[in-house]
């Protein structure tokens, strides 16, 4: 068995702690409330007021610039530079263009979670996180106030680049199936077994086991996520969904 597949199985085992609760939430059997939810990083970040969140970013030395006002975003900041040596690269934007892109805006609470995630990614040899966008208005009106991209609390990640130059691309490498379980004791294998597919699941399940986000939605969730993984911090809830 390859080292990457062994690592992936280890991540599944870690995530089992998160996903073992029998109670479901949000109408999805994979959404659970951990018994220790109140002590998780995502619960702490979601409950922060804006000034405390900004102070935490500053104390960590996270590169950001405050944004005066963005409709629907409680504490908007613009993500800049790298986190723990992991570059944040927005698809189709040069670094200069990204500085003026709405997609590079996020709520402060999401950036705290991303900073934690980047520390884990860096330890795993990741040097770049490629994302489609974070903040964006919702013309459809499907997102409730304080949720998802219109609140700046979600980011869609399309690829990770490793120190050795290899890229893990969600569209090409995840090999998911809608409805399949991604992490935990009931995790189902990718459509085609490969080292990149196992490594992608390892990254996702690491975030799940560390309780950094309320929602981690992969191509296993629905067809809309076929080319990215959605990471979200959500306020005023007490459950986590990883699929």
- Structural domain count, the chain: 1
Q: Domain limits at 94?
A: 3-242
Sign for the CA dihedral angle at 97, 99, 104, 105 comes to: negative
For residues 135 and 106, the answer to whether their CB atoms sit within 8 Å is: yes
Residue 138's nearest CA partner among 214, 73, 92 is 73
Helices (H), the chain: 3-19, 41-47, 50-60, 95-98, 108-123, 170-173, 195-209
The confidence score (pLDDT) of residue 203 equals: 87
Tens digit of pLDDT for each residue in 76-105? 999 887 999 999 988 866 655 555 567 689
Distance in angstroms (rounded) separating the CA atoms of residues 61 and 29: 39
For residues 91 and 158, the answer to whether their CB atoms sit within 8 Å is: yes
Report, as an integer, the average pLDDT of 198-219. 91
SS3 state at 110: helix
Q: What is the DSSP letter of 150?
A: G
The confidence score (pLDDT) of residue 40 equals: 94
Report, as an integer, the average pLDDT of 20-36. 66
Flag the least confident range among 44-48, 93-97, 225-229. 93-97
């Amino acid at each position: 068995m390859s080292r990457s597949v062994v690592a992936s199985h280890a991540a599944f085992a870690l995530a089992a702690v998160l996903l073992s609760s029998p109670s479901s939430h949000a109408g999805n059997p994979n959404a659970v409330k951990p018994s220790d939810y109140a002590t998780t990083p995502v619960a702490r970040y979601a409950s922060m007021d804006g000034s405390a969140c900004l102070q935490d970013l500053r104390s960590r030395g996270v590169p950001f610039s405050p944004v005066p006002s963005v409709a629907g975003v409680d504490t908007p900041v613009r993500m800049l530079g790298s986190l723990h040596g992991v570059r944040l690269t927005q698809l189709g934007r040069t670094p200069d263009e990204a500085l003026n892109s709405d997609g590079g805006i996020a709520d402060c609470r999401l950036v705290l979670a991303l900073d934690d995630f980047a520390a884990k990614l860096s330890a795993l040899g990741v040097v770049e996180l490629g994302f489609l966008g974070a903040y964006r208005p919702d013309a459809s009106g499907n997102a409730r106030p304080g949720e998802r991209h219109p609140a700046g609390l979600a980011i869609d990640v399309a690829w990770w680049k490793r120190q050795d130059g290899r890229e893990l691309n969600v569209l090409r490498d995840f090999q998911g199936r809608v409805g399949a379980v991604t992490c935990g004791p009931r995790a189902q294998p990718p459509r085609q077994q490969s080292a990149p597919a196992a490594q992608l699941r390892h990254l996702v399940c690491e975030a799940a086991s560390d309780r950094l986000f309320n929602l981690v939605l992969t191509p296993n969730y629905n067809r809309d996520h076929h080319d990215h993984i959605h990471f979200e911090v959500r306020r005023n809830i007490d459950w986590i969904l990883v699929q």
